[in-house]
């Protein structure tokens, strides 16, 4: 298969917004109200918000390109960009999203391995992420990739508080 992982820069802002909205909507539309989904998409993926994230030196975005089509993306955070105070020895996978038609083809594993490579190169000791307690598919995937539950935190979808499991993979 032809697959490439490409680091995003500011010129990718518009494309990043499109893939972010599309994949988030597809993943969660069935389990959330239209109002909460709309509110979340408009705030989390506004061009202003994404621009701040793209230009934060402690965050990195990558597109996964499969047969010349951008089919998903990865967002990594270190230091203060992490959504919890996990410290300088941790790397967060904040977002890992693929279009439905390419899931279960090994691309998720490829992106996890990309995150592991970057974490090891920058001397991190663990990788962590938050996953909605109802996202059974992703939880099973992360378990397969060697992550274990180490805590919980709250996530707001519009005005609804949801519980995320924090899952961690030690690197040493
Ligand atoms: C979660 C997601 C990134 C996983 O990526 P993927 O490409 O579908 O997964 P892969 O094909 O790379 O799977 C890697 C391994 O995990 C296993 N796996 C994947 N999903 C699984 C599941 N639901 N149950 C059990 N094992 C699973 C695969 O069998 C594979 O095992 P192998 O290494 O023995 O072959 C992808 O499905 C996705 O984007 N989902 C929608 C968005 C989402 O929920 N993102 C996470 C938000 S926290």
Encode the chain (172 residues) as per-residue pLDDT tens digits.
699 999 999 999 999 999 999 999 999 999 999 999 999 999 999 999 999 999 999 999 999 999 999 999 999 999 999 999 999 999 999 999 999 999 999 999 999 999 999 999 999 999 999 999 999 999 999 999 999 999 999 998 888 999 999 999 999 7
Q: How many residues does the chain have?
A: 172
Q: Can you list the domains of the chain with their CATH numbers?
A: 3-124 (3.40.630.30)
Beta strands in 56-147 (DSSP E): 59-66, 69-78, 90-98, 126-132
Q: Is 134 in the pocket of ligand 1 (CB under 6 A)?
A: no
Confidence (pLDDT) at 158:
86
Cα dist from 105 to 64, 101, 133, whole Å:
12, 9, 24
Cα 73 to ligand 1 centre (Å)? 14
Whether residue 142 lies in the annotated active site? yes
């Amino acid at each position: 298969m032809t697959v490439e992982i490409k680091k995003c820069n500011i010129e990718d802002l518009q494309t990043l917004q499109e893939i972010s909205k599309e994949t988030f909507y597809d993943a969660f539309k069935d389990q959330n109200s239209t109002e909460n989904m709309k509110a979340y998409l408009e705030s989390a993926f506004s061009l202003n918000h994404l621009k701040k994230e793209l230009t934060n030196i402690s965050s990195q975005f990558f597109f996964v390109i499969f047969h010349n089509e951008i089919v998903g993306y990865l967002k990594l955070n270190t230091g203060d960009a992490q959504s919890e105070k996990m410290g300088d020895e941790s790397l967060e996978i904040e977002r890992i999203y693929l279009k439905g038609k390419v899931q279960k083809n090994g691309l998720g594993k490829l992106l996890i391995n990309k995150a592991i490579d970057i974490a090891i190169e920058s001397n991190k000791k663990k990788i962590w992420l938050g996953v909605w307690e109802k996202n059974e598919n992703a939880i099973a995937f992360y378990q397969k990739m060697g992550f274990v539950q180490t805590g919980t935190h709250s996530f707001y979808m519009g005005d609804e508080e949801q519980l995320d499991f924090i899952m961690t993979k030690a690197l040493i």
